[in-house]
Amino acid sequence: MAQQLSAKGAEFIKQFEGLRLTAYNDGTGVMTIGYGHTGDVNAGQTISQAQADSYFAGDVKWAVDTVNSSVKGELQQNQFDALVSFTFNVGEGAFKSSTLLKKLNSGDYKSVQSEMGRWIYAGEKKGAFAKFVRWAHLGSGKEVSPVLKARREREGKLFKSGTYS
């Protein structure tokens, strides 16, 4: 039977996404509103809290469906919620092709927290040393994002111990 995102899980994700009731440019030219809703958003548009919640419920559905269709074993509610949060952030393709999912589906639940901790990079490092690192294949050449690092730590903790705060 397919699992659903719990109310606590939805609030957990919303904390990371943040709420904006007035449309804004997300920095990449995409108009965004609510908890990261895009698509049918216009500059200057405003919405209510109820509309933001409705958008979120529709927006998170693909992540719920992805986790339900990809994970082979049984999940406790906290584990499911943590994986939906992770998937909502990294995307369907990244989740489905991840080592995290492969290990989870092989029964290795203990490595999920550490695998989540690998998804903390965003943006390119700058400067001569960063160019050398990429040239020499010594690392990803990407910057650690403090925001992603904190999110992964909380998702990992939620998966492992059921702590939503």
- Over its C-alpha atoms, the chain yields an Rg (Å, rounded) of 17
143 is annotated as an active-site residue? no
Provide the pairing of β-strand 121-124 with 31-34: unpaired
Which three-class secondary structure state does DSSP give residue 14?
Answer: helix
CB atoms within 10 A of CB 119: 20
pLDDT in tens for each of the 165 residues of the chain? 799 999 999 999 999 999 999 999 988 889 999 999 998 999 999 999 999 999 999 999 999 999 999 999 999 999 999 999 999 999 999 999 999 999 999 999 999 999 999 999 876 545 565 565 555 555 555 688 899 999 999 999 999 999 998
Domains and CATH numbers, the chain: 7-161 (1.10.530.40)
CA atoms of 63 and 89, how far apart (whole Å): 9
In the set 17, 92, 115, 155, the catalytic residue is 17
CB 86 within 8 A of CB 155: yes
